[in-house]
Amino acid sequence: MIKFLYDGFYIDDERIPVYSGAVHYWRLDPKKWGEILDKVKGMGFEVVTTYIPWEVHEIKKGVFDFGEEEPSKDIGKYLTICEEKGLKVLVRPGPQINSELTWFGYPKRILEDSEIQARSAQNTKAVLTQVPRPIPALSYASEKFFKETAEWYDAICSILRKHKAPQGCIIGVQVDNELGYFFHINPYVVDYSNSSIKKYQEFLREKYQTIENLNGLYRTNYESFEEIDPPRRFEGRKKEDLPYYIDWIEYREHYLINSLDRLTGMMRERGLDDVPIFHNYPHPLGPGGSVGATTTPFNLPELESKLDFVGFDIYSRKELYDHVKTIVSYVVGCSRFPFIPEFIAGVWPWYFRPGELNDEEFVTKSALMHGIKGFSRYMIVERNRWMGSPVTRDGRIREDRYNFFKQVNEVLKKHSFADFKKKSEIMLISNRDYDRLEAATVLIPFPGDFLETLLGFSEYPNFTTVSEDNFGFDGPIQLAKTKWFDAYYRGLTEQGYSFVLGDTSLSTDKLEEYKVLVLASFEYMSSDFQENLLDFARGGGVVVLGPKIPTLDEKFHEKEILKKYLSPEKSVGITLGDKTVGVKHEVGKGSVVHLPELDKRESGRILGRILEDAGIWKVEKNDPRIDVTIHENIKEPERRIVFVANPTSDKIPTEIGLDKVPASVREIWENKAVEIKDGKLVDELHPYTIRIYDCAFGGV
Amino acid sequence: MLHENPLMIDIDVDQWRNLHDRFLESAKEKRRIIVIHEGGEILKFVHSNGEDVTKTIDKVTDPQIDVKKVYEDNKEKADFVLMLDRKAVERFFAEIQDSWSSGEDLDEYVYRMYVKLDEYKDGIVTYPGPARKNLGLRWKLSISYPQVKELVQRYIPPNSVVVVGIFENSNLIWGSLVLGFDEERKIKLITTIDKSQVIRDWKGEYKKFVKWVEEKFWKCSLGLFMDRGSVEMILESDKRLNTIRDLIRTGKLIAYPVPETLKQQLG
């Protein structure tokens, strides 16, 4: 039985850190499989990952070639070679794999089948402009889709189950790939197929139980759920109009979760029932290169209730440090196993302006800095429609890249990174209800585009595409929520506080791992989450929120769950200089701090004031632009790893003060001793540089 | 023109990045003012970088006049203005997407998308310049897709490879493109010259590059080798063919091999 914990996979109590690299067997000369895998091992990889493409293996409906005709398709033989070489394997049999294949991994006949195609709000096909052929989105609500996929799974799972660890090499299986409406993130593009609409109606029935309950909220006169057509564009004007649209956004999360749950069940039924099953959300940089959100239409916490763990893919450049920090901090805050299923090692040729190797180094260190515990390098061996990998498709080595990836693996192993955990006492929370509102109020529908969205908008909703209406609130929450989140994020970073990100779908257990929760709050907040915050504070935690204390629930019904516990008698003003910037309300053993305003220029100082009062320790640093994280060793309390990042284009001299002075410090990437002056780590960081200090305390 | 299943292999990232930088232009990177309206009622009026915008129109009555007015009011902070009628955008994308067929090449599909923008000249409006010239990711070649297609059909023999190599200094390759055309002149191969092939002055080595291509792929029908300065001269020229001829005559651009169909054109 293979199990996984926060720090890696385990077989018979032996830990296998999941530092993996992707190798696509069918795209390589099978005579070179062994030689190429040796090169991969030479970089220190003990795990490899591969897609298994339905598109490639199916010769005609129901007939598959697994090496009988073309040796390069002999997945069984490939897995056997991995076993002989002592490599563990993560497999990704789709059905959707993208993989820069012409038909995204599906047989062409599947994409051409109008019964399986998703439909747009205008009842047309929903076409993703991808390379080398545009493709229509498929409906993962279609029964025929699952029936077809079952035939593929029957064929492939019968091979895979023979290779499961511990006897075989397979230690994990990824279900589907980057499921997210075929990059039609915009909510009013898909899926309006009949099968999806039926599922939407079922979702509403489950949520509201009776049509009367729904009519009461929607202020409508539907006689049955079957009458309800989903919103095809946003036309809301007041808050009473919003539940209809927000339910569609929630349904879109539900659609993805249920589809993946069903596919996972199909895999488990076919013998993959005792290996971890995971999924990868698309890198929220968006196909057109736009930074996106981590929540809706994705829902990592809910999806992890259906399968084992979920990660986000990362392809980025050094200038997008905050993007990497955001994604990793979210996965670290939310997932059981913080894993990056696709982690940049080269890119696809239509990635606009590909970065250099130093971008990959900076991105790698950024992700480690913010706490990832496992990854799969995509692609560690190059192939058709990929460039910049350390090993070429014919097995040659690109020395600079090869040495870089080798060094990363050596550092991780030599310094036992799996034994370290990022120290964070604060969780910055993204409120899914407000993210749903933001998505619901998008004014312009447009399809996904791998080159660049034609209109130049981000696939993810933002201030350029969402409504500016107040809907009867004091201001446009769908816009203000981002300003507040950003002010918190900047303030915490500038002050030297380490934090993770979370969202309002997280369980209370997960929230209780932190001492402080920080979040934007407006007139409404879900009842459940208000209760969670209250429990958190009662138990001794500190909740920092603002600008409003909610008085409505997620249905916009009056509900003062939090507010009624915040009594003026148990409150004290928080001052900064002679200005009162917030109010601290005592709640149980903890408190709720309300910030009615948060000027982004002042946010750091205000948060610093509150967190100091809460006894939260911060790193002392000489320049607010520098970012620092500390990783504690679970086995050896006297050892810590300290990451210091300069995410700017300026050279910055750094002085970092920790809570105690290390006895010795070594920078482990360059393997050199570091000066401690007046108790501080003193260094100079070139632009876009991250230092990794191994600090020994105590009598070392 | 792009084959259904092209090989895009062994592409040198550094060369590829240089080509992107010089020859591609992204609307997303431009400073834009975005106006979204519904039948004239303005719902959105923002700058893509969040800068303040001077707003002297409060509704859209004549998109062609209004978009110009918005630009004139803000031209110091905007490269162009994008004015969108919601319903027009919905219709535009519905039409484009429903016309998809699995047999259509990517470039044909994308080109049709751009052409269709002209049919929405009051619904999807940009200024200065039409939407077709401002939006999306475009090449900076001042040559249209149909013109490129026509040139390929006229001059490039089927089942052959075209190589373009651009050098800086004498022995450093800055960028290259190796395009293989199949029997229907669809692009079935995209790669770059292996930089390890470039050892000495490119003017003495271009035949080696051609040989390398022919040994590795298919017969080379056209090879064009030049330095960066010559590329810039061609791109900036109003009479490109004349410029190319001049560069060939002065030895700054080497054309080798040259298909029979093109020999006369290149002088």
- Give the minimum alpha-carbon distance from A536 to chain B in angstroms, rounded to a whole number: 36
B107, B87: one domain:
yes
Last residue of a domain, one of B121, B138, B155: B138
B258, B207: one domain:
yes
Residues A421/A635, Cβ–Cβ less than 8 Å? no
User: How far from the centroid of its chain's Cα atoms is residue B97's Cα?
Assistant: 22
Helix (H, G, I), strand (E, B) or coil at B162: strand
Strands (E), A133-240: 135-136, 170-174
* CB–CB contact B8 A349 (8 Å): yes
B153, B249: one domain:
yes
User: What's the fold here for domain A16-120+127-186+254-418?
Assistant: TIM Barrel (3.20.20)
Question: Pick from A454, A239, A504: which is nearest to B26 by CA?
Answer: A454
Is A346 touching B (CB cutoff 8 A)? Answer: yes
Is B265 touching A (CB cutoff 8 A)? Answer: no
Backbone angles phi, psi at B196, to 5 degrees: -70, -15
B15, B65: one domain:
no
Residue-level pLDDT at A599: 83
Q: What is the C-alpha separation between A139 and A143, in angstroms, rounded?
A: 9
147-186 in chain B: CB under 8 A from chain A: none
| Nearest residue, CB atoms, A132 vs list B2, B34, B124 | B2
Amino acid at A137: A
Distances (CA, A) of A45 to A195, A342, A375: 44, 15, 11
User: What residue of A is the nearest CA neighbor of B132?
Assistant: A454
> Is B50 exposed, middle or buried, given 0-12, 13-18 or 19+ CB atoms closer than 10 A?
exposed
B163, B214: one domain:
yes
Chain B residues whose beta carbon lies within 8 Å of the beta carbon of residue A438: none
* CB–CB contact A120 B86 (8 Å): no
| Nearest residue, CB atoms, A354 vs list B17, B27, B43 | B17
Question: Who contacts A296 (Cβ-Cβ below 8 Å, separation ≥6)?
Answer: A249, A250, A252, A253, A432, A435, A436, A439
Question: Who contacts A186 (Cβ-Cβ below 8 Å, separation ≥6)?
Answer: A442, A444, A445, A446, A447, A448, A459, A461
Q: What is the C-alpha separation between A598 and A516, in angstroms, rounded?
A: 18
Chain A residues whose beta carbon lies within 8 Å of the beta carbon of residue B90: 121-122, 233, 445
In DSSP terms, B80 is beta-bridged to: B32
* CB–CB contact A447 B97 (8 Å): yes
B125, B157: one domain:
no
* CB–CB contact B94 A122 (8 Å): yes
Q: Which two tokens stand for residue A666?
A: 């070594």
Chain A residues whose beta carbon lies within 8 Å of the beta carbon of residue B104: 133-134
Looking at domain A426-618, its CATH class is: alpha beta
Residue-level pLDDT at B267: 77
* CB–CB contact B27 A452 (8 Å): yes
Is A102 touching B (CB cutoff 8 A)? Answer: yes
- DSSP label at B140? S
* CB–CB contact B26 A452 (8 Å): yes
Beta strands A675-677; A680-685: pairing state: antiparallel
- Identify from A387, A391, A466 which residue to disrupt to test chain B contact, counting B C-beta atoms within 10 A and taking the largest count: A387
Amino acid at A253: E
* CB–CB contact A352 B26 (8 Å): yes
- Give the minimum alpha-carbon distance from B242 to chain A in angstroms, rounded to a whole number: 32
Residue-level pLDDT at A291: 57
* CB–CB contact A127 B100 (8 Å): yes
Q: What is the C-alpha separation between B251 and A14, in angstroms, rounded?
A: 67
106-125 in chain B: CB under 8 A from chain A: 106, 109-110, 113, 124
| Nearest residue, CB atoms, B89 vs list A125, A127, A446 | A446
Q: Is the peptide bond before B128 cis (omega within 30 degrees of 0)?
A: yes
B152, B222: one domain:
yes
Is B76 touching A (CB cutoff 8 A)? Answer: no
For chain A, domain boundaries: 16-120+127-186+254-418, 426-618, 621-696
For every residue of A626-685, DSSP letters joined together read -EEEEEEESS-TTEEEEEEEE-SSS-EEEEEE-SS--SEEEETTTTEE-EEETTEEEEEE
Question: Pick from A297, A325, A228: which is nearest to A505 by CA?
Answer: A297
Chain B residues whose beta carbon lies within 8 Å of the beta carbon of residue A131: 2, 106
pTM: 0.97
* CB–CB contact A387 B46 (8 Å): no
Chain A residues whose beta carbon lies within 8 Å of the beta carbon of residue B79: none
Residues A346/A386, Cβ–Cβ less than 8 Å? yes
Is B91 touching A (CB cutoff 8 A)? Answer: yes
| Ordered mean pLDDT values, 10 residues apiece, chain A (700 residues) | 91 93 98 98 98 98 98 98 98 98 98 97 97 98 98 98 97 97 96 98 98 98 98 97 98 98 98 97 65 83 98 94 94 97 97 95 98 98 98 97 98 95 96 96 95 92 96 97 94 96 95 97 97 97 97 96 92 92 96 92 93 95 97 93 98 95 95 93 97 84
* CB–CB contact A354 B104 (8 Å): no
Residue-level pLDDT at A290: 52
> Up-side HSE of residue A83: CA atoms within 13 Å toward CB?
17
B37, B116: one domain:
yes
* CB–CB contact B44 A468 (8 Å): yes
* CB–CB contact B94 A133 (8 Å): no
- DSSP label at A416? T
B105, B190: one domain:
no
* CB–CB contact B105 A133 (8 Å): yes
Is A108 touching B (CB cutoff 8 A)? Answer: yes
Residues A425/A618, Cβ–Cβ less than 8 Å? no
* CB–CB contact A451 B93 (8 Å): no
Is B34 touching A (CB cutoff 8 A)? Answer: yes
- What range does the domain containing B6 cover? 2-22+143-263
Q: How many domains does chain B divide into?
A: 2
User: What percentage of chain B has pLDDT greater than the value 90?
Assistant: 96
Last residue of a domain, one of B99, B115, B138: B138
Q: What is the pLDDT of residues A181-228, one digit of tens each?
A: 999 999 999 999 999 999 999 999 999 999 999 999 999 999 999 999
Residues A137/A110, Cβ–Cβ less than 8 Å? no
Question: Pick from A687, A539, A514: which is nearest to A616 by CA?
Answer: A514
For every residue of A433-447, DSSP letters joined together read HHHHHHHHTB-----
User: What residue of B is the nearest CA neighbor of A133?
Assistant: B106
* CB–CB contact A451 B110 (8 Å): yes
Is A700 touching B (CB cutoff 8 A)? Answer: no
Question: Who contacts A373 (Cβ-Cβ below 8 Å, separation ≥6)?
Answer: A6, A7, A8, A17, A18, A337, A338, A339, A418
* CB–CB contact A444 B84 (8 Å): yes
**Residue with more model confidence, B208 or A294:** B208
- Give the minimum alpha-carbon distance from B144 to chain A in angstroms, rounded to a whole number: 17
CATH of the domain at B226: 3.30.1050
* CB–CB contact A456 B48 (8 Å): yes
In DSSP terms, A666 is beta-bridged to: A673, A694
ipTM of the complex: 0.96
Residue-level pLDDT at A600: 79
* CB–CB contact A354 B110 (8 Å): no
Is B50 touching A (CB cutoff 8 A)? Answer: yes
User: What's the fold here for domain A621-696?
Assistant: Immunoglobulin-like (2.60.40)
B132, B169: one domain:
no
Q: What is the pLDDT of residues B164-203, one digit of tens each?
A: 999 998 889 999 999 999 999 999 999 999 999 999 999 9
| Nearest residue, CB atoms, A132 vs list B4, B27, B30 | B4
* CB–CB contact A456 B50 (8 Å): no
Angle at A427 between CA A623 and CA A416, to 5 degrees: 75
Residue-level pLDDT at A700: 42
| Nearest residue, CB atoms, A464 vs list B3, B8, B48 | B48
Q: Which two tokens stand for residue A178?
A: 């980057």
Q: Which two tokens stand for residue B172?
A: 């450093």
**Span B236-264, mean pLDDT?**
94
Last residue of a domain, one of B95, B122, B138: B138
